[in-house]
Structure 1
Amino acid sequence: MDIRRLRYFLQVAEFGSLNATAEQVNLSQPSLSRQIRLLEEELGVSLFTRRRDGMVLSRDGLELRTRILGPLRQLEMALDEIKSHSSQIGGSVVFGMPSSAIDALASPLARRASAFPNMAVHIVEGSAGQMLKSLERGEIDIALLNAPPTDTKWRCEIEDLFVEELVLAGSADAGLSIDNPVSVEDLAQLPLVLPSPPNHPPPIRALVEILSGLTDGKCNFPAYADSFQLTKSYVEAGIGYSVFPHSAVSHEAERGALTYAPISGHRLSRHMVLGTYPGGQYPRALERVKEMIKAEIVELAERNPSHVQLLF
């Protein structure tokens, strides 16, 4: 039996409304409705009568509330007391991360998390849009996001992390060099491999607008690639150039698979933030994961002081 569902049941009973309860517990209304439905399926009874003006406890619902109200409160107090005495941090935290940050941050974060055997950190990969939806649904607890979400319907809590410079990357034979910046005007003449227009993140959207102005809308895009790894493979094969965060290509550059150069004329960068689902089940573990993420970001900035600017 999931204790959270019992808590949600009591709160819906108190407020008499899924919408009002969802606001109170920072959960979407569909997610809350699903939790109540799962509880009813587990018990084999209907706990509420659903009406246009709200939710009313059924006979079985009234009996359940009477039976669990006191014991559940005592259980919660006992758990809180034990947690306050514990020196170990436990629980499971699901961390969403964009593909462009996997190489730089995933393995180092996993190594840090291994120092806490009672705590599991599950890293999942996805786009900013996918991760925002997963945060809203409570499927992930924390996510590294490209730029702060501007849509006010998202309830996740946002913390600024860093700004990172974007660089031009080409194949090993392209001859790009960190010591020879490429101007935006020269960039406009190169074949660029970018995501398809509906999937442009904010920095790429800004770049395409600049290039369109310079070329009268006749930019050279030999191929679109909506997968980050596919874009890299096209660039390595010499099909075209692309624009990446510096940390996303530094490993390939070190082993000679890619070359890269700074972009002059317009400073192109990405703004990274940390989004947190406010209803996480293991708050102490979540805070520790935040600390580990920030520690890795600090090390990233120390290794690349000219490319990464901390915001915390």
Structure 2
Amino acid sequence: MDIRRLRYFLQVAEFGSLNATAEQVNLSQPSLSRQIRLLEEELGVSLFTRRRDGMVLSRDGLELRTRIMGPLRQLEMVLDEIKSHSSQIGGTVVLGMPSSAIDALASPLARRARAFPNMAVHIVEGSAGQMLKSLERGEIDIALLNAPPSDAKWRCATEELFVEELVLAGPANSGLSADRPVSVAELAQLPLVLPSPPNHPPPIRELVDILSGLTGGNCNFPLYADSFQLTKSYVEAGIGYSIFPYSAVLHEQEKGVLAYAPVSGHRLARHMVLGTYPGGQYPRALERVKEMIKAEIVELAEAHPSHVQLLF
């Protein structure tokens, strides 16, 4: 089996077009078409349905993509690592990160990675559920995740990272202040914009239960928003308030577009872990990315010790 054909197959599946993929991989369209045809002949199945508007995966194509993405990614990492033995640390590490951590960690990590010219860090933004599935399939190498419930059975390896305070965020003119905590009883009277119930992380689920008890089930949730950026835009527009990780509102607070306040009466915090693909052995590039993540979190905790607590 030619590994290049498998790579071409995945790229055609991604772009949905032979022409677009041919430009990407620097092949002629007939040559690429031949490579896909040879792969189909070798497997004895049709991998795509050819249409006027592009290439659509068949049922067998969907199954092949699901089964090879993780193993092929791991094989490429091993090859990158072997190549890097002769010189510097090299290879590409795919890092999954929740939207709520992008502002605080993405750019600093990218700056650190520039010290290793043969190594690339590809940051993928997504929900915890999406990242966990991608980790378990081997599509990404490492991810920041909410700590699993004690009875959860994850197939990825995890390392403790930190616990971070969650704060109440409101529009700039809301009167919220970091020096004046808001009680849970006051919180129950505010219009809150939260994720829809199936997407509640554990601390939000606990808070909603408390608020429901205080209000007799009449909580004021004017809108649900499952996108972190959408939630922020609603808060900035004065549509409601929301609960964010402390580090996720620092930039907006400094710019004067959001205000925040601690919540008293019930400690709200998120517990973060580092999840890695359960392959057993990781190349040096992956270990270096883990070191960079921890170094950034140490700096965050040292700068804001009352809000971020290290667990390593």
Taking structure 1 as the reference length, the TM-score comes to 0.74
Q: Return the index of the structure with the highest Cα Rg.
A: 1
Equivalent residue runs for 1:71-90 within 5 Å:
86-90=86-90
The residue that corresponds to 2:272 in the other structure is 272
SS of the residue aligned with 1:244?
A: strand
Structure 2: which amino acid aligns with 1:129?
A: G
Change (3 A) 1:200 1:152: closer
Q: Residue by residue, what CA displacement relative to the aligned partner does 1:246-287 show, whole Å, maximum 9, x if unpaired?
A: 000010000100000000011100000000003288611100
1:193–1:242 Cα contact (<8 Å) kept: yes
The residue that corresponds to 2:25 in the other structure is none
Change (3 A) 1:44 1:234: same
SS of the residue aligned with 1:130?
A: helix
1:128–1:145 Cα contact (<8 Å) kept: yes
1:99–1:125 Cα contact (<8 Å) kept: yes
Equivalent residue runs for 1:62-73 within 5 Å:
none
2:84–2:90 Cα contact (<8 Å) kept: no
The residue that corresponds to 2:295 in the other structure is 295
1:163–1:310 Cα contact (<8 Å) kept: yes
The residue that corresponds to 1:111 in the other structure is 111
CA separation in 2, counterparts of 1:116 and 1:280? Answer: 24
Count residues in correspondence.
Answer: 246
CA separation in 2, counterparts of 1:144 and 1:307? Answer: 18
The residue that corresponds to 1:60 in the other structure is none
What residue ranges of structure 2 are gaps of 5+ in the alignment? 7-35, 45-77
Residue 250 of structure 2 is aligned to residue 250 of structure 1: yes
Report the aligned-residue RMSD: 2.4
The residue that corresponds to 1:197 in the other structure is 197
The residue that corresponds to 1:13 in the other structure is none
2:84–2:91 Cα contact (<8 Å) kept: no
CA separation in 2, counterparts of 1:233 and 1:279? Answer: 39
Structure 1: which amino acid aligns with 2:192?
A: L
Task: State the identity as a percent.
Answer: 80
Alpha-carbon deviation of 1:209?
0.6
Change (3 A) 1:280 1:255: farther
Taking structure 2 as the reference length, the TM-score comes to 0.74
After TM superposition, where is structure 1 displaced by more than 6 Å over at least 4 residues in a row?
none
Q: 1:41 aligns with which of 30, 39, 42?
A: 39
1:182–1:261 Cα contact (<8 Å) kept: yes
The residue that corresponds to 1:306 in the other structure is 306
Alpha-carbon deviation of 1:153?
4.6
Structure 2: which amino acid aligns with 1:98?
A: P
1:148–1:272 Cα contact (<8 Å) kept: no
The residue that corresponds to 2:121 in the other structure is 121
